Chains A and B, each alone.
Chain A
Amino acid sequence: MRYAIPGVVLVGLIVLFSVGLYLNPREVPSPLIGKPAPAFSLPLLADGTTYTAQDLKGRPLLVNFFASWCVGCQVEHPLLLRLAQRDGVEIVGMDYKDTPADINDYLKRHGDPYRRVVEDAQGTAGLDWGVYGVPETFVLDAGGTIVYKQIGPMTEQVWQEKIRPLLKERG
Chain B
Amino acid sequence: MMKQSLVLILALWLGTGAALAAGPQPEDSFAADVQGSLNPAQEARYQALTRELRCMVCMNESIADSTAALANDMRMQVRKQIIAGRSDAQILKYLTDRYGDFVLYNPPFKRLTLLLWLGPLLLVLLALALALAFVRRSHRRSKAVTVNEQALKQLLDENRPS
Contact = CB atoms under 8 A, between A and B. Distances in A.
Interface of A: 25-26, 28-32, 38, 97, 123, 127-130, 132-133
B98 A31 contact: yes
Nearest to B69: A97
A128 B73 CA distance: 11
Nearest to B130: A5
A165 B93 CA distance: 33
A132 B100 contact: no
Contacts of A132: 56-57, 70, 99
Interface string B42-79: 00000000000000110100000000011001100100
Interface of B: 56-57, 59, 69-70, 73-74, 77, 96-102
Contacts, number: 36
Nearest to B101: A31
Nearest to A124: B73
Contact of A127 (B57, B59, B77): B77
9 contacts: A25-B59, A26-B59, A29-B100, A31-B98, A31-B101, A97-B69, A130-B98, A132-B99, A133-B56
Main secondary structure, interface of A, reads loop
A26 B57 CA distance: 8
Given A30-B100, A97-B69, A132-B70, 7 more contacts: A31-B98, A31-B99, A123-B70, A127-B98, A128-B98, A132-B57, A132-B99
B99 A123 contact: no
Contacts of A133: 56-57, 70
A38 B56 CA distance: 19
A29 B100 CA distance: 7
Contacts of B98: 31-32, 38, 127-130
Given A26-B59, A132-B57, A31 B96 contact: yes
B100 A130 contact: yes
A25 B98 CA distance: 18
Contacts of B57: 132-133
**Which of B57, B74, B98 has the most C-beta atoms of chain A within 10 angstroms of its own C-beta?**
B98
Contact of B100 (A31, A97, A127): A31
B138 to A, nearest CB: 14
A46 to B, nearest CB: 26
B66 to A, nearest CB: 12
Contacts of B97: 31
Nearest to A123: B73
Contacts of A32: 98
A164 B97 CA distance: 27
Contacts of A26: 59
